[in-house]
Structures are given as structure tokens and as C-alpha cells.
Structure 1
Amino acid sequence: MRLGGRLQAAIEVLSEIESRHRPVPDALRDWGLSHRFAGSGDRAAISNLVHDALRMKLSHGFIMDGDRAEDLALATLLRQWSISPAELVATLDGDRFAPEIPDENHMQACLQRDLADAPAHVQADIPEWLTGSFEQAFGSAWIDEARALAARPPLDLRVNTLMATREQVLSAFEDRRPVPARLAPFGVRFEAGEGPQRQIAAASEVSFARGWFEIQDEGSQIASGMVGARPGETILDYCAGGGGKSLAIAAVMGNQGRILAYDADRRRLAPMVERIRRSGAEIIDIRERAGQLAEFEGQIDRVLIDAPCTGTGTWRRRPDAKWRISEKNIADRMADQDKVLDAASAFVRPGGELAYVTCSLLPEENGDRVKAFMARHPEFEPFGLDERWAEAVVNPQIPPPLAGDGPGLVLSPARTGTDGFYFAGFRRRT
């Protein structure tokens, strides 16, 4: 497919998403099924166009003075893919599959609009009703923080040190330009591509099948390291999901000790079975039901809560979620977070630790929940994060990105080059 066909396809997918409120993966999949002639490069380019358009939906609409699918897709080529109006007109000329586009002078005039004249939430490309939360979280830097969430994300791998070294993984991908992660000691990064470029399919590599690495954002790797697990300890991963953090902790512990992996939705645990087999993480014990944890009440060295949340920190990867979030979503997640904090804290032994993690950047889900938890549970006190940070990262001279609204760290694309994560840690008084 030429650029005109790809542009038309992106417009169709964006229209489907808007009119039928469909998730992006579903809309892209269905388009591919009904257009089987499209090659893998075409599908990747169309996916990039759609995701990029949604990442900067509001600012694109302002610049183009319209927010139709046609406006967003066209703005993506002009603003994010750096195709000039003259080049675009020349490229689409004579392409019978291309949509109609404005003339060169009109597009040039649109690009001359000053985004600084737009409302703050439009400059930031976030829903207007969330501006207060972002300003509370980041102060005067909130627009820059929000803008960083509108960029393409890199692909991060976590080297599984039970099976390989970082040097081996870097060597396995030497033709793909991997780089060591800046902070995570076992991280490998592939920077985001530009325009139609595809990200590598790391899970299709032989080295993945051998268990050499897992796909895991660097921020998630750092949060796993901040738990501070030691060989021989007993760890409870209370909201284990697919097991990414359990696997990371098992490697840190050198397969010595025990990790109990539990999730209230036991269906989410199913992928962990194969991941454990591939990784060689022999100390992970999957517990499908809450009753199977009863014997460990008050006996666990460290409990990790990777809490259910709105996922605002992952908007680079799931930009459509940015436009679907609601006040009810936040209220529901806050209730879930309070519930799991209360339930999981009962398993911490005296002197043991509790780690609270979200992939959200909203204070309502982070600092506010921590303060409420401490008010309900005076037997817990926050532990210092500076020393733990120095243990968890490979460049300890980089200062920990402390939260401004209470005990905790806030990782973000702008601060740490990672997805957005919050981490707070508590120690149970003896």
C-alpha cells in the first residue's frame, strides 16, 4: 500500500473507534481481517497512524480547526511524521486510494496556528476535567508531564538473570540497536521508531523462547526492585496478574526463598504458568483463591500490592484509554485500592514490609490512598526511599523522583523516561 491507502485506512479505523466506541486493538484487528491484502508493514504503519493520532487528539484538533478522523490523521502526518504540506500533496497526487485533502496553502496555514493560544488541557492533550489532578501531582510542570505521555513509548526488556546476562541479550539483538536501560540494572531498551517504522517483535525471537528475557517497562522493573526482596525470604505478590513482577523478584532472589502469587481474578494468573516454565523461576507458588493464603497471615516478609488502577501512566501505550476515563472509573479504583491495602496488609509480619504500586499518575490513587491507609493502620510507617532507590537502580547518583504529596516515588516519561508508576513502602512496627 502507498501512503494514500494507509491514510485512508487510518481514517476508517479512527471513525470506527469514535462512532462505535471500540477499543483500538479490536478496530485494527477487524480492519485487517477485512483487508487481507494489507501486508505486515502496512498494518504496522496504519496502527502507528491511529495510535499517534489519538495520543495528540486535542492539539491536532486545535491546529486543524476540526477533530474529524480526517483532521486527526492528516495532522499526524504533518505534525508527528514531519511530512510537509508540499511533500504530502506531491505524494498523494494520482493515488486513487488516497482521501481528499485540503490544498497546500490551507495545510500550511493550519500549521502556523500557535498552540500556546489553546487552553491548557489542549496543550497537554488530556481531558479538561483531569487538569486539577495533574497540577496537584506535578505542580507547574504538569503540562510538560502530560505532553510526555503523548509520545510513542520505547520497547523495554528485562533480562532474566536466571537464564542469561544482559550482555547476552544485547548481543542477541545487536542488529536492532538495543541499549542498556538508564536506570533498571537488567533492562534493555529499543527506542521508539518514527513514522511507519515497526517496533521489533521481541516475543517471536528464539532468545525469548529460551527464557532470556521478559517484555517489561523499565518503570515496572524499577518498582519490582524497590520491593527490596532478599534471597531466602517469603514474598506475597497480592495482585499478581500475569506475573511480571513475581518473575522479576524471583530473579533478584536467585531462586532462593518463596513467592506466593495471588490475584482476585484467577483468570489473570493463567499466563503465568507458561512464563514460569520458560523463565526457570522455581520459587513461584500460584495461589488461585484467597482461602489458600489464610495460613500466612502475619508471617510474610514482604507483601507487594500492584494495585488495580486507571492506568493513566500507560497512556503512551493505550492512548484511547485517555479519552475513555471517567470520574466513576477513578472512584471505583479508589475503592478497590483501599480494599486490597487493608486485605494485603494483614499478611505482613511484625518488622516486615508492604509495597504499594500503581501505574497511575493521579494523586487520588496514589498519595491520597497512602494517607488514608496510614490513618486506618497506625501499625505501619513509611520507610525511607533514598536508600532503597540506590539499591534498585544502576545509576544511584540520579536522585529518586519523590512524590510531592506524601511518602512515595513518581516515575513518569518526563522524569525517568519510563511509563508512569507510583511506589510507596511501609514497614510494620514490631
Structure 2
Amino acid sequence: MTPAARCSAAIEVLTDIAERRRPAADALKDWGLAHRFAGSGDRAGIASLVYDALRRRASAAWIMGADAPRAVLIGSLRLQQGLASASVASLFSGERFAPEPLSDDERARLDAGTLEGAPPEVAGDVPAFALPELTAALGDDLIPELKALARRAPLDVRVNTLRGSRDDLMPALAAFGAVPTPHAPQGLRIPIGADGRGPALHVEAEFLDGWYEIQDEGSQLAALLADPRPAETIVDLCAGGGGKTLAMAAQTRNGARLIATDGDPRRLAPIHERLRRSGAVAEVRTPRGGKARADVLEDLDGSVDRVLVDAPCTGSGTWRRNPDAKWRLRPGSLALRTAEQTQVLDRAARLVRPGGRIVYVTCSLLPAENDAAVSGLLSRWRGRFEAVPAETVLAAGPATLPDAVRLTAHGIQMSPLRTGTDGFYVAVIARRG
């Protein structure tokens, strides 16, 4: 497919997303199934165009004066890829498989369009209803942070120290341009291409042999700050696919009793193969379906040393990876997530022993899901828990981290601008003896 034909395809996919209000990944998959002539490179190129357009949907619509998929794609080519109007016009020629030629108005807007005077939610490409929460979290850095959140995310991996060291793995990934991550001691960052694609690391022999996992540096740092220790009983309460479970197993050299579970058994499906591949040791407790399902952790109540709560959240900190998610988010979604966070934190509180700790993690930038959730736990369990000072929590991480993060009322906030990671929040809550 020509670059122009890819633009036509991207407009089709963006139209499907807008009309059916569905995840971009689903729309892209369906387009690929319906157009089997498109090779993997074409599909990846179309996906990059679609995700870039979604990253800059509001600002692209602003400069183009329209929010139709065609206008958003045109505006994103200017804002995200820096193409001049002549370059965009060469793609929108109306020739074989190319989109219709640019109108005089579209050319004029490409030449003169600016974000000067745009409201913050437009300049930052976020839903307007989320702006007060984001402003509270980011303060004077609001616009620079939101712009960083609209950029493409890097490709990070975590070296599995159960297999070997970062220095041991570096030669194997040298051909991909791997360099150490800025903060995480076992992280490597792989450059992505101009089209936003990274190499297919999941098919490399070292990945298949368990030498590394693909994991954002912020997630790696959250696992480090959890400070798991050998001989402890540790529950990963919202383990999902097991990324942090594997990280904690490596940190403790398989010396802790690790139990991984999740309220949604489907999310646990990948963990078994990942454990096998990595050599990590953990017990997986999968809840059964149905209204009368048993509590798979009931026997551990009051005895757990450390509970990791990687809580369900809006995912606002990952919008650079999942830009369509921010436009599918609705005001009611936040209330739903905070209710789920209350439930899972209270479950963690029942699990932890006197003197034990809850490590509360979200991939969110919204204070309602972060400090407010911790405040809620402290209020509901008045006198039985206390927040651990951020300085104490940071001592478990790399020396570079304290100068990069924001300190909040109860925890630590990472962000794309400050730490170069997804927007992770970490707080540690201790149960009084």
C-alpha cells in the first residue's frame, strides 16, 4: 500500500471507531480481516496513523475547524508528524486509493492553524471533564505534562535477573539500540521507529527463554517501591497478567511466598506461561465464576506481610499508549473505578497482618483515584493504618528517582514529563501493630 492509501484506510478505521464507539484495537483488527491483502507493514503503518490521530484528536480538530475523522487525521499529520501542507496535499491527491484532494479551506487551516487561544483540554488533548482532576495533580506543569502524555510511548523491557543481569543481556539487544532506562536498574529502552513501531521483541530467542519481559519503566519502578522481601508472604491482589508478580519474584530471588490473584479470572490467563518462561515461583489462585464463588484468599486473612494492590483505574497515566481510552472515558467511569478501588483496598486491609503493609498502585494521574483512595482507607479503618512517608518508600528505589517524581499528600506520582514513564502512583500504607 502507498502512504496515501494508508491514509484512506486510517480514515476508514477512525470512522468506525467514532460511529461504533469501540476500542481502536478492535476496529484495526476488523479492518485487517476485511482487507487481507494488506501486509503486516501496512497494518502497522495504518495503526500508527490511527493512534497518532487519537492522541491529537482535540487539537487536530481545533486547527482544522472540524472533528470529522478526515479532519482529525489531516490535523494530526501536521501536529504529530510535522508535515507541511504541501506534504499533506501529496498524500491527499485523490489519485488511486488516495483520499480526496485537500479543499482550499483545509489548505488554509494547515498553513495558518494554531493552538494559540485553545482551552487547556484542547491544547492538552484530554476530555474536558477530567481537566480539574488533572490540574490538581499537575499544577503549573499541566500543559507540558499533557503534551508529553500525547506523545508516543517508548518501548521498555525489564531484565529478568533470575536468568542473568542487564549487562549479560545487553549484547543480545544491541542490534535494536537498547540502552539502560533512566531510573529502573533492570530496565532497557529500545528506540521506536519513525512510524511509532518498535521491533517484535516477543519473538526473540531471549524473550522466549525468559530473559526479559516487556514492561514500562514506571511499572518496573512501582514493583521496586513495593520493596518485597525474602521470607515474606506477599499477595498480588490485582495481578492481571502478572508483570509485577514476576518482578517481585526476581527481586526476592524466589525467596518470598508469592500469591497472585485477580477479581477477573480472564486477566490471569497469561500468568501461567509467563511464570514458566521466567523461572519465577508464585502460587496462582484463580477465583471461580458465579454468585456464590468462594473467597480464594480467606485462609490468609490477617497473616499477609505485604499486599500489592495494582488497582483497577481509568488508566489516565497510560493514555500515550492507549489514546482511544481517554475519548471513551465518561464521567461515570471515574465513580465506578473509585468504588472498585474502595472494595479492593478494604480486601487488602483484611489480609494484611499487624505491622504489614499495603502497597497501593495505579496507572492514573487523577487524585480521586490516588490520594483520595488512600485517604478513604485511612478514614474507614481509622487508627488501624497509617501512610508511610514518601521518603521511606523512595529509599527502596534508585537514587535518581526522588528528584524526578512528584510527592503528593500520601504517595509518589510518576509522569511522562517528569520521569519519562507512564503516569504511575504509588503509596504505602502500614497496619499498626
**What's the TM-score, normalizing by structure 1?**
0.95
Aligned residues: 426
AA aligned to 2:323 is: P
1:321 aligns with 2:320: no
AA aligned to 1:234 is: T
Q: Give the CA deviation at 1:32.
A: 1.0
Q: Give the CA deviation at 1:94.
A: 7.6
Partner of 1:64: 64
**Distance change in 2, residues 1:287/1:109 (3 Å):** closer
Contact 1:348 1:428 in 2 (8 A): yes
Partner of 2:290: none
Q: Give the CA deviation at 1:165.
A: 1.6
Partner of 1:199: 198
Partner of 1:251: 250
Q: Give the CA deviation at 1:379.
A: 0.8
Specify the SS of the correspondent of 1:260.
strand
AA aligned to 1:319 is: P
Specify the SS of the correspondent of 1:17.
helix
Q: Give the CA deviation at 1:218.
A: 0.7
Partner of 1:286: 284
For 1:322 and 1:153, the matched residues in 2 are separated by 15
Q: Give the CA deviation at 1:126.
A: 0.8
AA aligned to 1:354 is: I
1:303 aligns with 2:307: yes
**Distance change in 2, residues 1:295/1:87 (3 Å):** closer
1:351 aligns with 2:351: no
Q: Give the CA deviation at 1:42.
A: 1.1
**Distance change in 2, residues 1:88/1:201 (3 Å):** same
For 2:401 and 2:135, the matched residues in 1 are separated by 28
AA aligned to 2:202 is: A
Q: Give the CA deviation at 1:297.
A: 1.4
For 2:51 and 2:106, the matched residues in 1 are separated by 25
1:112 aligns with 2:112: yes
Q: Structure 2 matches for 1:97-136, cutoff 5 A?
A: 97-102=97-102, 106-107=106-107, 109-136=109-136
Q: Give the CA deviation at 1:91.
A: 5.5
Q: Deviations over 1:251-284 (max 9, x none)?
A: 00011121011112222212111110001012x0
AA aligned to 2:278 is: S
Specify the SS of the correspondent of 2:428.
strand
Q: Give the CA deviation at 1:228.
A: 0.8
Partner of 2:81: 81
For 1:39 and 1:318, the matched residues in 2 are separated by 23
Partner of 1:188: 188
AA aligned to 1:328 is: G
AA aligned to 1:413 is: P
Contact 2:219 2:424 in 1 (8 A): yes
Contact 1:390 1:396 in 2 (8 A): no
For 1:249 and 1:152, the matched residues in 2 are separated by 28
Specify the SS of the correspondent of 2:353.
strand
AA aligned to 1:210 is: D
For 2:112 and 2:93, the matched residues in 1 are separated by 24
**Distance change in 2, residues 1:286/1:90 (3 Å):** closer
**What's the TM-score, normalizing by structure 2?**
0.94
Q: Deviations over 1:362-416 (max 9, x none)?
A: 111111111111111121111122243232225356354212xx11111111111
RMSD: 1.7
AA aligned to 1:288 is: T
Specify the SS of the correspondent of 2:407.
coil
Partner of 2:385: 380
Partner of 1:9: 9
Contact 1:225 1:392 in 2 (8 A): yes
For 1:115 and 1:197, the matched residues in 2 are separated by 24
For 1:276 and 1:41, the matched residues in 2 are separated by 31
Q: Give the CA deviation at 1:24.
A: 0.6
AA aligned to 2:337 is: R
**Distance change in 2, residues 1:400/1:103 (3 Å):** closer
Partner of 1:139: 139
Specify the SS of the correspondent of 1:42.
helix
Contact 2:124 2:143 in 1 (8 A): yes
Contact 2:14 2:69 in 1 (8 A): yes
For 1:308 and 1:105, the matched residues in 2 are separated by 44
Specify the SS of the correspondent of 1:116.
coil
